[in-house]
Amino acid sequence: MPSLDHRGATPPMISELTIGCQYHGKEEIAVKAGTFLCHHFSYIDDVGFNQGIKHPLMTFG
């Protein structure tokens, strides 16, 4: 891992990390460049890392 902290606030280290990915399906996104059909994912962090701090909710489309 380059960093256990989602902000990159720790040095690189070797460690075990439990984090998942959830697929929410296809979603249409409208931006200035147009409308696009995307796959929607989000990270799942039920355990937490870096002294129990959970990764913030992040979704990707």
State pLDDT tens for residues 3-57. Answer: 767 677 778 777 676 777 888 899 999 999 999 999 988 877 766 655 566 666 6
Residue 35 lies in a domain: yes
Q: Regarding predicted confidence, which is higher, 59 or 8?
A: 8
Provide the pLDDT for residue 24.
Answer: 87
- Token pair 């690189």 is found at 12
Domain that holds residue 55: 20-60
Residue 1 lies in a domain: no
Provide the pLDDT for residue 21.
Answer: 81
Provide the pLDDT for residue 31.
Answer: 92
Residue 10 lies in a domain: no
Provide the pLDDT for residue 48.
Answer: 60
Write out the two tokens for 13.
């280290």
Residue 2 lies in a domain: no
Q: How many domains does the chain have?
A: 1
Contact predicate 21/42, CB 8 Å: yes
